Amino acid sequence: MSLELQAAQLLTSQGLDQLLKALRRGGCRTVGPTVRDGVIAYEDIDCLEDLPRGWTDEQSGGHYRLRRREDDALFGYAVGPHSWKPFLHPPRQRLWRTHRDGDTVRMQREAPDGQRLALIGVRACELKAIAIQDKVLLGGAYGDPHYRARRAGTFIIAVNCTVAGGTCFCASMGCGPNLTAGFDLGLTELGAAGPPAFVLQAGTPAGSQLLEEIPHRPATANEIAAARARVQHTAEHMGRQMPTEALPQLLLRNLEHPRWSEVAERCLACGNCTMVCPTCFCTTLEDSSDLTGRETSRTRRWDTCFTVDFAFVHGGSVRQSTRARYRQWMTHKLATWHQQFGTCGCVGCGRCITWCPVGIDITEEVSAMRTSEPT
Amino acid sequence: MDERETDPMVPTVLRVRSRRRDGPQVWTLELDAGAIERTGFAAGQFNMLTAFGIGEVPISFSGDPAQPQRIVHTIRAVGPVSGALTRLGAGAALAVRGPFGTGWPMREAAGRDVVLIAGGLGLAPLRPALYQLLAERSRYGRITLLYGTRSPQEILFRREIDSWRKRTDLMIDVTVDHAVQPWQGHVGVVTALIARARFDPGRTVALICGPEIMMRFAAEALGTAGVANGAIYLSMERSMSCGIGSCGHCQFGGLFICRDGPVIPYDLLREPLRVREL
């Protein structure tokens, strides 16, 4: 959006409210940021009042607090613990049920959820994460029909980041903060006093079409320049930096680096990083039955490579040590992901740093490995 | 409509035709393929087998690829799911997804000597390859099966092995870790048999299936004998949930064992196998 602002429009906060209503009228479930339990969470939202007006977040390793802003910004925070993953690749998904009738077992497949989703307030790093999950979950020989159904109907209103979080490093991953692709409508919140206003650009014909239902006017050159400056400011104030040069090679030639043991001393193997990560996709299958065994079902649920069970084969787990499990997570994310999906698995959102109970910092781990590489 | 075409995570309900014991805690189930007969399978591939309400495990095909109407799996009861599967009698229902994964390099083996090395239950995934080799015997050079197992009582497919021993166009050597009377054969690790086998290392394809440590030693011994790492194929085992490369469990470096394997040439495995707990 920042590249092509010629057709930019100006949208007021009332306009945004009408946009939400239009999406709901069109049959979409509208999901967006809201304050809950001391965090900015993505939940069902009905109207502007549900958005985190006047809130921002303070983030560092193992630390997250909401703070009041001095203005009424609606999107004046970085990212909360939730990505959009729970909506597109849900934590639990039933796959099928069986019903036994005498000698016959009937298999009933779970129909994909046809509810159209509208995601409000998606950040550049999150758009990239969705694009990565598209590759992972749809790019193979098969593709997940549940994910496909959810993605097919998804309408995305993206937001340029006007503040950088304390653990953000999307700029060094090449994933933000500028919106570039993958959204229907893109907003940049302007910072002037008074009610929030947005420079807006359509990213798809569906976005343009929806915009026609909403009052707006062409943005002025000043407004466009102001929007651009805010995003530029964000890019220059990233809380973290990832030294990305030849990163896969660095990790893959250092599989026995002593740093893995050091980080394992701190890592609790809790799996928080994988739960908050917008690209982590691992799942396991759970079967259950009623007491008689007549009804059974299978559910797919998120899993994490930090459990001992994750790599269990008869005889024991392949990865007994926390060292091996942390190494698996980080080398997968930053190195072998390239081999598997032709892209890095990290978008620089910083969630794994913020939500690690002991503040392990993936950027710091990479830097440490780079500076202490055995020669 | 066949739902497997649209969703590889949805299995097909099949019935057990017969069940036979093939060793301590080992049973071979033969299933009626029914509607999925036309799917067929390649030697070396596996199915995901479901015991209803309990769970699902990956099990290699152990039957004849030329007879896709009979789906055969040889299973050792080691956990809740494999235990439940081995208790299924004739007529019982189970569910099947597959076939998944890569097969043995049967085309590459044409015109060459073929060495099959099996450890324990690893003979089961190799049996489809052996069926295929013997069915088209003239297409291949010398064929050798080296089989190591724990004890004489645990020799799989005993009657078949006895009948194969009578063939003059197949060399079989069997060794056990622990001999008991009246065992007159070899005692020791299967890799020790490699030196006795007759093959031309420059034109040999090796197929290995067994415990990982055994496969590494066998592959190294073949390498020392002059077989190229790229002509040595291992059938790898890892935890698997989906079978289609999307659950993440079976990762081994950048490989998904379920999708890029289970049969993988040793040149891709040699380095990662040296890394402990990879």
Which residue on chain A is closest to B250 by alpha carbon? Answer: A311
Tokens of A341: 């999906």
Domain limits, CATH 3.40.50.80, in chain B: 106-274
Question: Above 50 in pLDDT, residue A193?
Answer: yes
pLDDT digits (tens, 9 = 90+) for A204-260: 999 999 999 999 999 999 999 999 999 999 999 999 999 999 999 999 999 999 999
Contact yes or no for A107 and B50 at CB 8 A: no
Predicted local distance difference test score (pLDDT) of residue A327: 98
Which of A189, A168, A188, A170 has the alpha carbon at shortest distance from A351? A168
Arch. (CATH architecture) of B3-99: Beta Barrel (2.40)
Which residue on chain A is closest to B98 by alpha carbon? Answer: A142
Q: Tell me the average pLDDT across B75-93.
A: 97
Q: Tell me the average pLDDT across B75-81.
A: 96
Residues of chain A contacting residue B249, judged by C-beta atoms under 8 Å apart: 282, 284, 303, 310-311
Residues of chain B contacting residue A99, judged by C-beta atoms under 8 Å apart: none
Domain ranges of chain A: 9-91+105-236, 247-371
Task: Give the pLDDT band of residue A4 (cuts 50, 70, 90).
Answer: low
Question: Above 80 in pLDDT, residue B268?
Answer: yes
Count of CA atoms in the C-beta half-sphere (13 A) of A276:
19
Task: Give the pLDDT band of residue B245 (cuts 50, 70, 90).
Answer: very high
Q: Percent of chain A scored above 70 by pLDDT?
A: 98
- B84 to chain A nearest CA, in Å? 13
Domain limits, CATH 2.40.30.10, in chain B: 3-99
> If you ran DSSP here, which 8-state letter would residue A334 be given?
I
Predicted local distance difference test score (pLDDT) of residue A373: 86
Q: Amino acid letter at B218?
A: A
Q: Amino acid letter at A340?
A: Q
B160 vs A371: CA distance, rounded Å: 60
Question: Above 80 in pLDDT, residue A192?
Answer: no
Mutation test of the interface with chain B: which of A85, A93, A275, A298, choosing the one with the most B Cβ atoms within 10 A? A298
- A57 to chain B nearest CA, in Å? 32
Contact yes or no for A296 and B52 at CB 8 A: yes
- A365 to chain B nearest CA, in Å? 19
Contact yes or no for A140 and B254 at CB 8 A: no
Question: Above 90 in pLDDT, residue A114?
Answer: no
Q: Are the beta carbons of A348 and A276 closer than 8 angstroms? A: no
Predicted local distance difference test score (pLDDT) of residue A314: 87
Q: Tell me the average pLDDT across A108-132.
A: 96
Give me the residue from B8, B53, B247 closest to A288, CB to CB: B53
Question: Above 80 in pLDDT, residue B5?
Answer: no
Other beta carbons within 10 Å of B240 = 26
Question: Above 90 in pLDDT, residue A375?
Answer: no
Q: Tell me the average pLDDT across A323-352.
A: 98
Question: Above 90 in pLDDT, residue B171?
Answer: yes
Contact yes or no for B247 and A283 at CB 8 A: yes
Mutation test of the interface with chain A: which of B2, B4, B9, B81, choosing the one with the most A Cβ atoms within 10 A? B9
Residues of chain A contacting residue B6, judged by C-beta atoms under 8 Å apart: 145
Instruction: Say whether residue B120 is in contact with chain A using an 8 A CB cutoff.
Output: no
pLDDT digits (tens, 9 = 90+) for A46-90: 999 999 999 999 999 999 999 999 999 999 999 999 999 999 999
Give me the residue from B241, B244, B259 closest to A284, CB to CB: B241
Q: Tell me the average pLDDT across B114-121.
A: 98
Q: How far is CA B114 from CA A214, B126, B147, in A?
A: 72, 12, 14
Question: Above 90 in pLDDT, residue A195?
Answer: no
Question: Above 70 in pLDDT, residue A5?
Answer: no
Task: Give the pLDDT band of residue A196 (cuts 50, 70, 90).
Answer: confident
Question: Above 80 in pLDDT, residue A291?
Answer: yes
Other beta carbons within 10 Å of A315 = 10
Q: How far is CA B170 from CA A366, B61, B112, B125, B192, in A?
A: 54, 22, 14, 18, 19
| CATH class of residue range B106-274 | alpha beta
Q: Percent of chain A scored above 90 by pLDDT?
A: 93
pLDDT digits (tens, 9 = 90+) for A232-245: 999 999 999 999 99
Q: Tell me the average pLDDT across A22-38.
A: 97
Instruction: Say whether residue B53 is in contact with chain A using an 8 A CB cutoff.
Output: yes
Predicted local distance difference test score (pLDDT) of residue A140: 87
Predicted local distance difference test score (pLDDT) of residue B241: 96
Q: Tell me the average pLDDT across A350-354.
A: 98
Q: How far is CA B95 from CA A98, A101, A292, B81, B92, in A?
A: 10, 16, 18, 12, 10
Q: What is the mean pLDDT of chain A?
A: 95
Residue B267 three-state SS: helix
Residue B31 three-state SS: strand
Low-confidence winner among A184-198, B22-36, B41-55, B204-218 (lowest mean pLDDT): A184-198
Count of CA atoms in the C-beta half-sphere (13 A) of B10:
24
Q: Tell me the average pLDDT across B20-34.
A: 96
